[in-house]
Amino acid sequence: MSETGIGATVLRREDRRFISGRGNYVDDVNRPGQVYAHFVRSPHAHADVKSIDTTAAAAADGVVAVLTGADVAADGLGGLPVGWGITSQDGSPMIEPPWPIIAQDRVRYVGEAVAVVIAATRNQAKDAAELVAVDYNPLPAIISTQDSIKDGVPQVWDDAKHNICFDWGFGDADATNDAFAKASHVTTVDLVNQRLIPNAIEPRSSVADFDSSTGEMTLWCTSQGPHAVRLLLGAFVLQQPEHKFRVVSPDVGGGFGSKIYPYAEYATCCWAARRLGVPVKWTAERSESFLTDAHGRDHITKAELALDGDGRFLGLRVSTIANMGAYLSAFAPLIPTYLYATLFAGQYTTPAIFAEVKAVFTNTTPVDAYRGAGRPEATFMLERLIDAAAKEVGVDPVDIRRRNFIAPEAFPYQTPVALLYDSGNYGAALDKALELSDYAGFEARRKASEAAGKLRGIGISTPIEATGAAPSAIAGQLGARAGLYESAEIRFNATGNVTVFSGSHSHGQGHATSFAQVVSDKLGVPYENIEIVEGDTGRVQMGMGTFGSRSLSVGGSAIVKASEKIIEKGKKIAAHLLEASVDDIEFSGGNFAVKGTDKSVNIAEVAFTAYVPHNYPHFTGDPEADKNALEPGLDEQAFFDPLNFNFPYGAYVCEVEVDPDTGVTEVARFTAIDDVGNVINPMIVHGQIQGGVVQGIGQALLENGVYDQGSGQLLSGSYMDYTMPRADNVPNIDSDLTITPCPMNPLGVKGCGEMGTIGSPPAVINAIIDALSGYGVRHLDMPATPQRVWSAIREARPAA
C-alpha cells in the first residue's frame, strides 16, 4: 500500500480550502448586473389566495419585477416532477398532485411561495416583498400524520380521498399471517419516527444567467446532483433544452438528501433570468430553510413480531403511515416503500414479512429523503421491536439477535422482501462491538452510576442498510423514472497529469481525496498529479449525483472501469514503443513492462506519446497493418450500473446515564462497529460514521420538527426550538471496522455515509429504556428529551 493509494489515511486535500474560507459556494458566485429574488411566502397552512396586489411592491425602489403564480401559468411553465411512481395495493397509481413553482389560487403549507420580488439589491427585494398585499381566505388545515386518514378531517387534495397518496403493500401477507397463527409469542410496538429538519450548514442558493444570444442558460445551485437538476428542471419545468442548459454545483456545504431535489426557487431564478434578461440570485435565509428544505422521516408505525418458543423470529407485520407533506417531493414516494420495507429482514432470518404503508398528504412542508431515507425508519422499528420482544420472552438482547442472525455461509442471501444480500458476517461485527464496548464490564459501571444516584443503561442495535441503489432495469420495474448508474472520464494530459470527471458530487464526503487515491492506486500516477472534477454539467459528461451512499461503490467503480480502459489502450501504445506484442505487456505501479524483461515505459511517457504521436501506431489505410492502429489521445469514459445494491452492516452499543431527578440523559459511551467492505481512506470512513452517529443521537435525544396541530405553524422553526446536537451532547465515539469485501463492484466497497444515522437511534433509545427498566418503563418516543424521560419515570413510578 502506498502512502496515498487505496487504504491509506490521507488528509482531505479540500479541507485547506474550506477551513481557510476559500471555498467557492453558490452564494460566492456573482454575475455582472445580477439582481436578487426574495419570495413572499404564505403565513397560512391552508388558504385560498383571493387576490394579490403587487402595485405598491412593483413601484418600490430598485424593483425589477414582481411575479406571481398567474405569471407562471401564463408563461406555461411545468410543475415540479416526481422521480418515482408507486402503485397501491388495489392496482391504482399514486395520487400525483400538480406542484407549480409559485402557488396558484391555493396554498397548502406555511412557507409556500405566492410571489417573488426581484430587485437590484437583496434588501430592496425584501423591503418590497413587505408591500405585496395577498388576500387569503384561510381554510382548516390537517397537520397530524395520525389523524390525516380519519373521517371528516380537512382534505389537502380533492383527488386524494382521506388524504391518501397511496396505500402500498409489500411481502407475503398470507405467509405472514400463517406465521403469526403458529407463534408462541407476539410482541407489538407502536412507534413514532418524528419529523426532522435537515439543517445543512450552507443554506440553499441559486444564481441563474441566461444568454439570449445563444439561448444558453447557466444555473449555479446547491445540488447533490446537477445533471439530475438539469434534466428535471429543463425538461419538466422550464422547457430549456439539455444541450443549452448548464448546471453547476460548486462547493456545497452539506446536503443529507435535502439538496437532491430540483427546488422551485432554482427554477424561479432561471425563469426570471430568461424573462427579464438579467442574472437572478437567491440565497435562503435560515428561517426559509426551516420552512422549505424538504423535511425527513415523519412515520407512525405499528409493528408486530411473531416468535417461536426459542425466541426465533417467525414473522413480521408492519403497518405505517408516512407523511408526505402537502406536495410530492421528487423522491418522496420511494422513501417509505422500497427504501423502507425492503430492509425489514434486517440481519435476521425472519421467513415471512408483510408491510403496509399509507402515504398521506398534510398541510406541512414536503417530506423526502434525509440521511438514511427509509432505512433509519426501518432499523428503528426492527431494533426496537426486537428489544421489546427480548424483554417480553426473557432472552438477553444479544442472544436474541445471535439466534436469528443470517449465518456467514448463507450468502448470497435472499430475504423475503426482495433484496439479495451480498456478503456479511454479522456475529463477528457484534463480537467486536461487545469487546470494544466492554459489554462484560457494564454491570460494574452500572453500580458505579447507581452509587452516584444515576441510572445507567445499555442498548444494542445491529443495523443493516442497502446502499448504491441498483440496478437500473429492476429500479425501472419498481417505479423509478431515472437510471441508477454513474459515469466517469479519466483524461490524461500530455504532461502526464490526470483530470478525472465524475458524475458524483461531494458536499462533505471527501471525493477530491478518496477518488484521487483510487486513481493513483489503479494507474500508478502520483496522487498530487490527479484532479477530481465534479458538479458541472458543462465539464462532466453525465452523472446521477450523490445520494444513498452511492458515490464510491457506483461512482468510484465507474472510475475503475475508466482506468481499465486507460490501461488497455496504454498497453497498445506501450507495445508499440517497446516493440513487443500487446499480450506480453504487463501493467503495474504505473509502468508498462514486457513480461520477463526489464524493458518498461511509464504511463506518463505513454500519455505524452498519445498526445505527441511522433512514434505511434497510426492508421495507414491498410486494413491488415491497421489492426493494431490507434487514435491519438489518452482519454476514456465509462458508465457503471451495478448488478445489485450493496449491504453494509454494523453492531452499535450505546451506554447512557440518566439523572432520575431531572430526566437528563447523557450518552456516556458509544461504540460503532461497521462493515463497509473494503476501505479507501479509513479517516474519511470513520469521519462519515461518526458524523452519522452524532446525527442519529440528535434524532434520538434532541431534534423534533413540531407544528401547531390546529394552525399548521412550524413551532420548531429556529434554533431556539429545533435542537441540533452539539459537542457536549456526544461522547468520544469508539468506531472500528470489520471488512467483508463486497462482490458487487470492482472496489469491493459498500456505502458508509448513512450507517451512523441508521444504526444509532435505536441503540440510544434501547439504552434509555434499559436504564429505566427498574421503573417498568417499556416505551419512549424520540426525541427522549429530559421532559419526556422525567415524565416516563413519574408515570411509571408507583405512587409514593
Interacting residue ranges for another protein, rule: CB under 8 A:
40-44, 110, 126, 129-131, 133, 287, 290-291, 708, 711, 713-715, 717-718, 720-721
Closer of 136 and 344 to another protein (Cβ)? 136
For the chain, the maximum distance between any two Cα atoms, rounded to a whole number of angstroms, is: 101
- What is d(CA 2, CA 526) in angstroms, rounded to the nearest whole number? 10
Closest CA to 426 of 342, 308, 346: 346
- Partners of 196 in the beta sheet? 296
CB of 99 to another protein, least distance (A): 21
CB 30, min distance to another protein, A:
25
Contacts by 574-577 with C-beta closer than 8 Å and gap 24+? Answer: 574/601, 574/606, 575/628, 576/615, 576/616, 576/617, 576/628, 577/601, 577/605, 577/606, 577/609, 577/615
Q: How far is CA 159 from CA 68, 93, 155, 530, 745, in A?
A: 25, 12, 9, 54, 44
**26: Cβ–Cβ under 8 A, 6 or more apart, which residues?**
205, 206, 207, 220, 221, 222, 249, 250, 252, 283
Q: For the stretch 630-639, what's the b/e string if a residue is b when 16 or more beta carbons lie within 10 angstroms of its beta carbon?
A: beeebbbbbb
Please state, in angstroms and rounded to a whole number, the distance separating the CA atoms of residues 219 and 114.
22
The nearest distance, CB 62 to another protein, in angstroms, is: 17
Residue closer to another protein, measured from CB, 141 or 460:
141
Residue 630 corresponds to which cell in the numbers above? 490507434
Query: Rounded distance, CA 507 to CA 795, Å?
Result: 45
* Whole-Å CA distances, 748 to 423, 520, 550, 552, 680: 10, 17, 13, 10, 10
Instruction: Tell me the one-letter amino acid at 530.
Output: I
Nearer to another protein (CB atom), residue 349 or residue 713: 713
Nearest approach, Cβ of residue 294 and another protein (Å): 17
| Minimum CB distance to another protein, residue 104 (Å) | 20
Q: Helix, strand or coil for residue 662?
A: coil
In the complex, minimum distance from the CB of residue 42 to another protein, in angstroms, rounded to a whole number = 8
Q: Please, are residues 425 and 647 in contact by the beta-carbon 8 Å criterion?
A: no
Quick one: 364 or 551, whose CB is closer to another protein? Answer: 364
Cβ-based nearer residue to another protein, 38 or 371: 38
Count CB-CB contacts under 10 A for residue 324: 31
Sequence-distant (≥ 6) Cβ neighbours of residue 531 within 8 angstroms: 497, 498, 499, 500, 516
Nearer to another protein, 478 or 706 (CB): 706
Contact 370, 256 (CB under 8 A): yes
Residue 80 Cβ vs another protein, minimum distance, rounded to whole Å: 23
Minimum CB distance to another protein, residue 308 (Å) = 50
488 contact partners, CB below 8 Å, separation of at least 6:
500, 501, 502, 503, 555, 558, 559, 561, 562, 637, 638, 640
For the chain, give percent helix, strand, coil, nearest 5: 30, 25, 45
- Cα separation, 455 vs 447, whole angstroms: 9
- Rounded Cα–Cα distance for residues 374 and 469 (Å): 13
Given a contact cutoff of 8 angstroms between Cβ atoms, the answer to whether 672 and 756 are in contact is: yes
Instruction: Give 143 or 330: the residue with its C-beta nearer to another protein.
Output: 143
**Closer Cβ to another protein, 23 or 43, answer by number:** 43
Nearer to another protein, 133 or 724 (CB): 133
Shortest Cβ distance from residue 123 to another protein (Å)? Answer: 13
* Residue of 288, 292, 264, 274 lying closest to 126 (CA atoms): 288
CB closer to another protein, 646 vs 704: 704
Nearer to another protein, 278 or 284 (CB): 284
Comparison of 393 and 715: residue with beta carbon closer to another protein: 715
Of the two residues 57 and 700, which places its CB atom closer to another protein in the complex? Answer: 57
Query: CA-CA distance, 537 to 248, in Å (whole number)?
Result: 6
492 forms bridges with which residues in the sheet? 498
